[in-house]
């Protein structure tokens, strides 16, 4: 019974650890990023961070990725894409 409780506790805490690591990680040159735009498959893709620290995406063009955390880049992409992609009901 104790082993099951410990395993369950680890699974419950794992998402918290992943979120903490994600917000502490800084994107760098040559990182491979998976960009997913919900409901817009043609905008979703894998991109590599160029040596100048930028990535290129349709509609938004070049955007600086290096030196940002994944949540910071996500917020930047959402702000830029919101001009072109509207929320769906």
Whether pTM > 0.75 for this model: the answer is: no
Query: Contact, 24 vs 49, CB < 8 A?
Result: no
Q: Retrieve residue 27's tokens.
A: 């994107």
What span, in angstroms and rounded, lies between the C-alpha atoms of 18 and 52? Answer: 28
Say how far apart CA 29 and CA 27 lie, in whole Å. 7
Q: Does domain 26-81 have CATH number 3.20.20.80?
A: no
For 78-87, what is each residue's pLDDT tens digit? 899 888 877 6
* % of the chain exceeding 90 in pLDDT: 46
Count of CB atoms situated within 10 Å of the CB of 54: 15
pLDDT at residue 1, rounded to an integer: 43
Name every residue whose Cβ is closer than 8 Å to that of residue 47 and which is 6 or more positions away in sequence: 32, 33, 35, 55, 56, 57
Instruction: Give residue limits of the domains in the chain.
Output: 26-81
- The confidence score (pLDDT) of residue 4 equals 41
Which of 3-17, 21-35, 41-55 is the least confident region? 3-17
Residue 2 pLDDT class (50, 70, 90 cuts): very low
């Amino acid at each position: 019974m104790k082993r099951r409780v410990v395993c369950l506790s680890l699974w419950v805490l794992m998402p918290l650890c992943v979120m903490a690591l994600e917000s502490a990680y800084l994107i760098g040159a040559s990182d491979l990023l998976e960009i997913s735009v919900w409901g817009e498959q043609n905008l979703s893709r894998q991109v590599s961070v160029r040596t100048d620290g930028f990535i290129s995406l349709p509609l938004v063009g070049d955007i600086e990725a290096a030196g940002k955390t994944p949540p910071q880049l996500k917020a930047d992409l959402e702000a830029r894409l919101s001009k072109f992609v509207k929320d769906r009901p």
